[in-house]
C-alpha cells in the first residue's frame, strides 16, 4: 500500500513538472533562422538580445494576461488578415529572405524577448501610439529601427545601424564600433544620450535645431568659415582618433549627450 502511494506521489510530481514545462514552452516560439533579414512590426514592448545558437527564439514574458471570457475558444485576428500562429500573440511569416513578425493585437499582447543569431539583420518598425520601448542588447549584427513613439535603448551594440524615432528618446552604450558601414541615430523630438568607447575612430556629424550638444569625447571639431550666421541650428563636424566610420547623430528638438566609455 505504501509502495502504491509512493508511486502515485511520484507520478503526481512528474505530472506537475511536465505541466510547468509545458506552461513555460507555451510562452516561447522558435524559428530556424541563422541568416537573412528578420522584420519585426508593431511590437509595443520588445527586447532584442544576441543568441549563441542558430535559431531565433521569441519569448512572451507576459503571456498570462487574463483573456476575455467571450474570447475563449476564438482566434485573435486583425484587419491585415493575420492571425496568431505562434500561440504568443504574434504572426510569423517565413519569406525567401528571412521572416516577418507582426503583432496581432492593437494594444499589445505582452512583453517580448527576441534572441537573434549573429548573422541575422534586425529590422524593427513601429508606428503605434500604444508602443512603449525597444532595446537592443549585445547585438553585433546590423540594426534598422524606425519608430514613432518608442524610446530606444542600446546596450553593448556595435553597428552598423540606422535608428530613427519621432517622439522617443535614444540612449545607451556602444561596444567596439564596427568600422564597415555608417551609423545613423536620429530623434525628432527626443534626447539622445550615448556612451562611446574612447578608442573609437569616427567622423562625426552632430546636429540639433533647438537643443544643445554636450560631450566629454576628444573630438577634433572642424571650424567653418561661413560668412552668414545660421540661426536655430547647432551643428558639429569633427573627427575622433583621426577619423573612421561615419556617425550621424541628430535631434531636431532635443539635446545630444555624448560620453566617454
Q: What is the pLDDT of residues 8-53, one digit of tens each?
A: 444 444 444 433 333 344 789 999 999 999 999 989 899 999 998 8
Going by C-alpha positions, the residue among 86, 141, 136 that lies closest to residue 113 is: 136
Please spell the DSSP secondary structure of 56-100, one letter per residue: EEEEETTTTPPPPGGGTT---B-TTS-B--SSSSEEEEEETTEEE
Question: What per-residue confidence (pLDDT) applies to 79?
Answer: 74
CA distance 101 to 40: 5
Least-confidence region, from 3-12, 81-90, 128-137: 3-12
110 pLDDT more than 80: no
DSSP character at residue 135: E
Question: What per-residue confidence (pLDDT) applies to 230?
Answer: 52
Question: What per-residue confidence (pLDDT) applies to 13?
Answer: 40
Domain-by-domain residue ranges, the chain?
A: 31-221+232-260
Q: What is the pLDDT of residues 170-227, one digit of tens each?
A: 999 999 999 999 999 999 999 999 999 999 999 999 999 999 999 999 999 887 666 5
Question: What per-residue confidence (pLDDT) applies to 192?
Answer: 98
Confidence of residue 78 (pLDDT cuts 50, 70, 90): confident
Question: What per-residue confidence (pLDDT) applies to 6?
Answer: 46
Least-confidence region, from 52-66, 93-107, 242-256: 52-66
108 pLDDT more than 70: no
Q: What are phi and psi of 40, to 5 degrees?
A: -120, 120
82 pLDDT more than 80: yes
Neighbours of 57 (CB within 10 A): 16
Question: What per-residue confidence (pLDDT) applies to 56?
Answer: 96
Contact 160, 70 (CB under 8 A): no
Question: What per-residue confidence (pLDDT) applies to 24?
Answer: 41
CA distance 78 to 171: 33
Question: What per-residue confidence (pLDDT) applies to 76?
Answer: 73
Question: What per-residue confidence (pLDDT) applies to 44?
Answer: 87
250 pLDDT more than 60: yes
Contact 147, 129 (CB under 8 A): no
Mean pLDDT of 224-232: 55
Cell numbers given for 15: 505530472
Q: What is the pLDDT of residues 120-160, one digit of tens each?
A: 999 999 988 878 889 999 999 999 999 999 899 999 999 89
pTM over cut 0.75: yes
Amino acid at each position: 500500500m505504501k509502495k502504491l502511494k509512493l508511486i502515485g506521489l511520484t507520478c503526481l510530481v512528474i505530472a506537475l513538472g511536465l505541466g510547468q514545462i509545458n506552461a513555460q514552452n507555451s510562452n516561447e516560439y522558435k524559428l530556424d533562422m541563422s541568416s537573412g533579414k528578420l522584420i519585426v512590426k508593431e511590437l509595443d514592448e520588445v527586447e532584442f538580445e544576441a543568441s549563441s545558437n542558430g535559431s531565433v527564439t521569441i519569448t512572451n514574458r507576459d503571456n498570462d494576461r487574463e483573456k476575455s471570457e467571450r474570447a475563449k475558444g476564438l482566434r485573435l485576428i486583425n484587419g491585415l488578415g493575420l492571425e496568431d500562429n505562434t500561440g504568443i500573440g504574434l504572426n510569423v511569416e517565413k519569406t525567401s529572405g528571412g521572416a516577418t513578425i507582426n503583432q496581432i493585437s492593437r494594444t499589445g499582447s505582452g512583453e517580448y524577448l527576441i534572441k537573434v543569431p549573429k548573422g541575422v539583420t534586425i529590422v524593427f518598425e513601429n508606428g503605434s501610439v500604444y508602443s512603449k520601448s525597444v532595446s537592443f542588447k549585445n547585438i553585433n549584427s546590423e540594426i534598422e529601427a524606425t519608430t514613432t513613439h518608442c524610446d530606444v535603448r542600446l546596450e553593448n551594440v556595435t553597428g552598423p545601424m540606422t535608428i530613427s524615432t519621432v517622439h522617443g528618446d535614444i540612449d545607451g552604450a556602444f561596444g567596439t564600433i564596427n568600422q564597415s558601414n555608417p551609423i545613423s541615430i536620429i530623434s525628432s523630438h527626443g534626447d539622445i544620450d550615448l556612451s562611446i568607447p574612447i578608442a573609437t575612430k569616427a567622423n562625426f556629424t552632430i546636429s540639433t535645431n533647438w537643443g544643445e550638444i554636450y560631450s566629454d569625447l576628444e573630438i577634433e571639431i572642424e571650424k567653418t568659415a561661413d560668412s552668414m550666421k545660421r540661426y536655430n541650428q547647432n551643428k558639429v563636424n569633427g573627427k575622433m582618433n583621426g577619423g573612421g566610420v561615419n556617425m550621424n547623430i541628430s535631434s531636431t528638438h532635443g539635446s545630444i549627450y555624448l560620453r566617454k566609455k
